[in-house]
Amino acid sequence: MISQITDILHLFCLSNLIFLIGLFGWRYYYDLRIRIAGGFSFGIVCYILLSLDPDLKIPYPVRVFLFAGLISLPFFFWMISLAIFEDHFEIKYWHWLLLLCKVGVSAWSVYPVLDLINMRGPIVSETVLAHIIIPTLLSLGFVVAAIIRIYSGRKDDLIETRRRLREVHILMTGSVITFNMFSHLILRGKILSEILDLANVIFAWGLILAFMYLVFELKEGLVDPRPEESEDKEEKAVLADPALKKKLVSAFEETKLYRKEGLTIGQLAEDLEVQEYKLRRLINQAMGFRNFPDFLNRYRIQEACEILLDPGKDEIPIIRVAMDLGYQSLGPFNRAFKELTGVTPTEFRRNRGRDESLKSTADFEIS
Which residues of the chain carry a pLDDT beneath 50? 218, 227-238, 360, 364-367
- Torsion sign, CA atoms 178, 180, 186, 191: positive
- Cβ within 8 Å of residue 195, ≥6 positions away: 2
The pLDDT value given to residue 158: 86
Answer for the pair 340, 308: CB distance below 8 angstroms, yes or no: no
The pLDDT value given to residue 104: 93
CA 150/CA 143 separation, integer angstroms? 11
Q: Residue 343 half-sphere exposure, CB side, CA atoms within 13 Å?
A: 17
CA 349/CA 154 separation, integer angstroms? 35
The pLDDT value given to residue 189: 57
pLDDT digits (tens, 9 = 90+) for 183-231: 666 655 566 677 777 777 777 767 666 666 655 554 555 555 554 444 4
- Cβ within 8 Å of residue 331, ≥6 positions away: none
The pLDDT value given to residue 41: 84
Burial of 188 (C-beta count, 10 Å sphere; 0-12/13-18/19+)? middle
The pLDDT value given to residue 366: 44
The pLDDT value given to residue 230: 46
- Using only C-alpha atoms, what is the Rg of the chain? 25
* pTM of the entire predicted model: 0.76
- Torsion sign, CA atoms 128, 134, 138, 143: positive
